[in-house]
Structure 1
C-alpha cells in the first residue's frame, strides 16, 4: 500500500505555481500579471516560497493521503 498523496500534491502545485503559467508575482509591469508566460528571478523566488508554504500545509499540517493497492 503506497501513499501517493504527497506526490500528487507536490506535482499539482509545481505545475500550477510555475511563474507565468496562471499568474506571476511580481510581474514585469504590475504587481500581479496573469498568463504572460514570462518569468524573472524575483518571481521564481516568490513562487518557490508560496510553493513551499502550500506543500507544507497540505502534506504536513492537513495530512493529505491517497493510498493505492497493487
Structure 2
C-alpha cells in the first residue's frame, strides 16, 4: 500500500507559488497588487496564508486529489 503524495505535492507547489513577493504580493506597499517585487509585509503574509489554506482545503478535502506511488 503506497503513500498518498497528493497533499504533499499540492502543499509544496502552493507554498512556492503563493510566497509573498515571488510572483505577486497582495496587498502591496504602494498598490493593491504588485508583481515580482521580492518584498513582503506582515499583512501580505497573512493574506497569502489565508489563500494557501483555502486553496489547499478545496483541493485536498473537497475535491480529494490523490497521487499514489506504485
Scaled by the length of structure 2, the TM-score of the pair is 0.97
Kindly tell me the number of residue pairs found equivalent between the two proteins.
69
CA RMSD of aligned residues (A): 0.4
Q: For structure 1, list consecutive stretches of 5 or more residues without a partner in the other structure.
A: none
Scaled by the length of structure 1, the TM-score of the pair is 0.97
Give the number of the structure whose residues are more often strand, by fraction: 1
1: CA distance between counterparts of 2:49 and 2:39?
Answer: 16
Partner of 1:67, secondary structure, is coil
Q: For structure 2, list consecutive stretches of 5 or more residues without a partner in the other structure.
A: none
Runs of 4+ in 1 over 6 A off after TM superposition: none
